[in-house]
C-alpha cells in the first residue's frame, strides 16, 4: 500500500504542473491576443484586385482632408488611376506608379495577430481612428477599414473593419501611406524633353559668374551635341551634353511645400544655377537651382509653382569648371579632310602633305604622307608612327585657359602659325601670340578665340614618351627620324648626361 502511495504522489505533482502550464498559456494568450496563421504565416484580412476597384478614399482625421484615387479599368484589363483628393490642383501631373502603390497599400491588409474579438475599440484608438479607408468596388460594394494607434514597439498599428468586432495588428507602414497627400503623388519627372527638341540653351551660375549660351547640333547620326556660341564660339564637351541631358529629363527626389519666408533656408531666395531651354517650337523652360545644402540641391521651374529636392546624380555636372564643359581641344581635324598643313615658327617652317583616304589614319598603309617632299611614314621598332605623332600634336592642341577681355596685351607678331588647307581649297589659319613666358593667346583667321594654350602644346620635347610632344617638337622628331631611318625604322636615341 505504501508503494502505491509513493507512486501516486509524483503522478499527482506531474498532473498539477501540466494544469498550471495550460492555465498560464491560456491567461497569457487572453492578455496579448491570439495568433493565427495561414500557410504563408499570415492571414489576408483585406484584399482586392485593382481591376475590381472603382475608388479608394482615405479620410485623415488630423487634417480633416480626403485623399481620393479613382480607378478606371480598361477592356484590356489595365487600370488607370486618377487623383481626386481635396488638395488636387488643376494642371498637376500625378504619377501612375505612385497612385498604384497607394491603392495597393490601402486595399491589402495582412496580419498574423488578432488582438481582440470583443470590439473594445477605445483601447486601441479605433473609437476615433486616425484614418478611415473606404474601398469601393465596381459592383457597388464598399468596405471600410479603420487604422488606430501604433503598438508599443512602434512596429505595428491596430486595424479593424466596419461591422466586425475583430481587431488586428498590421504593419505601421500603413499609417505612413495613409498620411500621404497630393505632393506625394506628383510625378517625379518634372521635365521630359528630348535633346532633339532643344534649339538652344542658356546656363549661368553666380558662384563664378559663368554664363554660357549654346545651340544644339545634329551630327547626322541622330546624336545631339552642343556648340557654345557665347561668350566664345567653341564645341561643348560631352560633360556639357550630359548636364543638359539631366536637365531635360529632370527627375527629383521629393516635392516641398515652402512659403516665401522658407526660401532662404533652402537657398532659393538667391539660386546659384540657372538654365533656360528654348525648344524648337518656341516654348521655354526655365529652371533655378540652389547651391548644395547638406548633400542636396533645391529648385523650381518658372511657372510651375512647385519646389523640389535634387540629389547629386539627378543634376550631375552643375559644379564642373568651365574648361571641363567645353571641348578640351583648341580644334579638331581629321587627316582625310585636309590636303596639307603648313607650320611657321620664327624664320623656320615645314609643310605636311596629306593624301589619306576617307576614314583612314596617316599611318595606314594606303596613306601617302610627305614632310617637305620626303616620305614621312617612318616608325619606331615598336610600330609607333612618327607622322602620327606629328599629326596628333597638330590636331590635339589643348586649351590651357579661358580669358575674355577687350584689351589684350600680346606680342606684335605671332610666335607660331598653323595653316590647314582642306580638300575644297579652303584655308584655316591659327596663330599663337605671346601672353606670358609660358602661355600663348590663340587666334583663328585673325580673330581671338577667347583661349590661351600652354607652351608645352607647341614646344614640349617628351623624349621617349611619344604621346606628349608639342607640335613643333614633333616636327623636329619626325625630321630626325626621316634623316636617320634605316629601312623605314628609327628609334629615338636616349640622351645621356
Look at residue 26 and tell me whether its pLDDT is greater than 50: no
Q: Is there a contact between 274 and 163 (Cβ–Cβ < 8 Å)? A: no
Q: Is 267 helix (H, G, I), strand (E, B) or coil?
A: coil
Phi then psi dihedrals of residue 253, to 5 deg: -85, -40
Look at residue 27 and tell me whether its pLDDT is greater than 90: no
For residue 493, name the pLDDT band (cuts at 50, 70, 90). Answer: confident
Percent pLDDT > 90 in the chain is 82
Q: What gap in Å lies between CA 158 and CA 150, rounded to an integer? A: 6
Q: Is there a contact between 441 and 433 (Cβ–Cβ < 8 Å)? A: yes
Look at residue 15 and tell me whether its pLDDT is greater than 70: no
Look at residue 360 and tell me whether its pLDDT is greater than 60: yes
Q: What gap in Å lies between CA 44 and CA 38, rounded to an integer? A: 8
Phi then psi dihedrals of residue 110, to 5 deg: -115, 140
For residue 34, name the pLDDT band (cuts at 50, 70, 90). Answer: very low
Torsion of CA 448, 454, 458, 459, to 10 degrees: 150
Look at residue 67 and tell me whether its pLDDT is greater than 90: yes
Q: Is 245 helix (H, G, I), strand (E, B) or coil?
A: helix
Q: What gap in Å lies between CA 82 and CA 108, rounded to an integer? A: 19
Look at residue 71 and tell me whether its pLDDT is greater than 80: yes
Residue bearing the bigger pLDDT, 18 or 49: 49
Residues 6+ away with beta carbon under 8 Å from 44 = 38, 108, 109, 110
Q: What gap in Å lies between CA 378 and CA 474, rounded to an integer? A: 13
Q: Which of 422, 479, 416 lies closest to 442 in space, CA to CA?
A: 416
Q: What gap in Å lies between CA 144 and CA 82, rounded to an integer? A: 20
pLDDT tens-digit series, residues 102-129 = 999 999 999 999 999 998 999 999 999 9
Look at residue 25 and tell me whether its pLDDT is greater than 60: no
For residue 495, name the pLDDT band (cuts at 50, 70, 90). Answer: low
For residue 37, name the pLDDT band (cuts at 50, 70, 90). Answer: very low
Q: State the cell numbers at 92.
A: 498637376
For residue 468, name the pLDDT band (cuts at 50, 70, 90). Answer: very high
pLDDT tens-digit series, residues 228-268 = 999 999 999 999 999 999 999 999 999 998 999 999 999 99
Look at residue 39 and tell me whether its pLDDT is greater than 60: no
Q: Which of 323, 276, 318 lies closest to 301 in space, CA to CA?
A: 276
pLDDT tens-digit series, residues 316-359 = 899 999 999 999 999 989 999 999 999 999 999 999 999 999 99
Which of 91-95, 354-358, 427-431 has the lowest average pLDDT? 91-95
Q: Which of 265, 334, 340 lies closest to 296 in space, CA to CA?
A: 265
pLDDT tens-digit series, residues 390-427 = 999 999 999 999 999 878 887 789 999 999 999 999 99
Look at residue 373 and tell me whether its pLDDT is greater than 80: yes
The mean pLDDT value for 6-22 works out to: 48
Look at residue 307 and tell me whether its pLDDT is greater than 60: yes
Residues 6+ away with beta carbon under 8 Å from 142 = 134, 135, 136
Q: State the cell numbers at 215.
A: 545651340
For residue 22, name the pLDDT band (cuts at 50, 70, 90). Answer: very low
Percent pLDDT > 70 in the chain is 91
pLDDT of residue 261: 95
pLDDT of residue 33: 33
pLDDT of residue 218: 84
Q: What gap in Å lies between CA 256 and CA 258, rounded to an integer? A: 6
Amino acid at each position: 500500500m505504501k508503494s502505491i502511495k509513493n507512486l501516486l504522489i509524483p503522478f499527482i505533482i506531474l498532473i498539477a504542473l501540466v494544469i498550471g502550464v495550460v492555465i498560464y498559456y491560456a491567461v497569457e494568450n487572453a492578455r496579448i491576443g491570439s495568433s493565427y496563421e495561414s500557410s504563408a504565416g499570415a492571414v489576408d484580412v483585406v484584399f482586392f484586385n485593382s481591376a475590381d476597384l472603382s475608388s479608394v478614399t482615405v479620410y485623415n482625421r488630423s487634417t480633416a482632408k480626403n485623399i481620393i484615387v479613382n480607378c478606371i479599368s480598361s477592356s484590356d484589363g489595365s487600370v488607370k488611376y486618377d487623383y481626386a483628393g481635396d488638395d488636387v490642383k488643376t494642371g498637376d501631373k500625378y504619377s501612375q506608379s505612385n497612385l498604384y502603390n497607394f491603392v495597393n497599400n490601402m486595399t491589402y491588409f495582412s496580419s498574423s495577430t488578432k488582438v481582440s474579438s470583443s470590439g473594445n475599440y477605445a483601447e486601441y484608438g479605433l473609437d476615433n481612428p486616425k484614418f478611415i479607408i473606404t474601398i469601393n468596388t465596381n459592383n457597388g460594394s464598399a468596405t471600410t477599414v479603420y487604422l488606430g494607434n501604433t503598438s508599443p514597439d512602434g512596429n505595428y498599428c491596430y486595424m479593424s473593419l466596419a461591422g466586425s468586432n475583430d481587431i488586428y495588428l498590421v504593419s505601421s507602414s500603413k499609417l505612413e501611406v495613409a498620411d500621404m497627400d497630393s505632393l506625394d503623388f506628383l510625378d517625379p519627372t518634372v521635365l521630359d524633353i528630348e535633346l532633339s527638341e532643344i534649339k538652344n540653351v542658356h546656363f549661368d551660375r553666380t558662384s563664378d559668374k559663368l554664363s554660357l549660351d549654346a545651340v544644339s547640333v545634329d551630327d547626322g547620326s541622330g546624336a545631339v551635341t552642343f556648340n557654345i556660341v557665347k561668350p566664345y564660339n567653341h564645341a561643348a564637351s560631352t560633360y556639357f551634353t550630359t548636364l543638359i541631358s539631366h536637365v531635360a529629363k529632370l527627375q527629383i527626389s521629393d516635392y516641398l511645400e515652402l512659403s516665401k519666408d522658407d526660401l532662404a533656408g533652402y537657398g532659393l531666395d538667391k539660386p546659384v544655377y540657372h538654365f533656360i531651354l528654348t525648344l524648337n517650337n518656341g516654348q521655354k523652360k526655365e529652371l533655378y537651382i540652389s547651391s548644395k545644402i547638406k548633400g542636396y540641391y533645391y529648385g523650381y521651374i518658372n511657372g510651375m509653382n512647385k519646389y523640389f529636392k535634387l540629389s547629386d546624380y539627378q543634376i550631375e555636372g552643375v559644379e564642373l569648371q568651365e574648361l571641363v564643359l567645353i571641348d578640351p581641344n583648341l580644334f579638331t581635324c581629321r587627316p582625310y579632310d585636309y590636303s596639307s598643313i603648313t607650320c611657321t615658327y620664327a624664320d623656320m617652317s615645314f609643310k605636311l602633305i596629306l593624301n589619306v583616304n576617307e576614314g583612314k589614319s596617316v599611318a595606314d598603309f594606303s596613306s601617302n604622307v610627305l614632310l617637305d617632299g620626303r616620305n614621312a611614314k617612318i616608325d619606331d621598332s615598336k610600330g609607333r608612327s612618327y607622322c602620327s605623332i606629328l599629326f596628333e600634336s597638330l590636331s590635339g592642341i589643348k586649351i590651357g585657359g579661358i580669358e575674355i577681355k577687350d584689351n589684350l596685351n600680346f606680342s606684335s607678331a605671332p610666335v607660331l602659325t598653323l595653316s590647314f588647307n582642306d580638300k575644297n581649297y579652303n584655308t584655316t589659319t591659327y596663330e599663337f601670340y605671346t601672353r606670358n613666358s609660358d602661355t600663348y593667346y590663340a587666334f583663328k583667321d585673325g580673330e581671338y578665340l577667347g583661349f590661351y594654350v600652354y607652351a608645352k602644346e607647341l614646344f614640349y620635347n617628351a623624349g621617349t614618351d611619344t604621346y606628349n610632344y608639342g607640335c613643333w617638337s614633333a616636327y623636329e622628331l619626325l625630321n630626325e627620324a626621316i634623316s636617320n631611318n634605316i629601312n623605314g625604322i628609327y628609334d629615338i636615341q636616349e640622351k645621356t648626361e
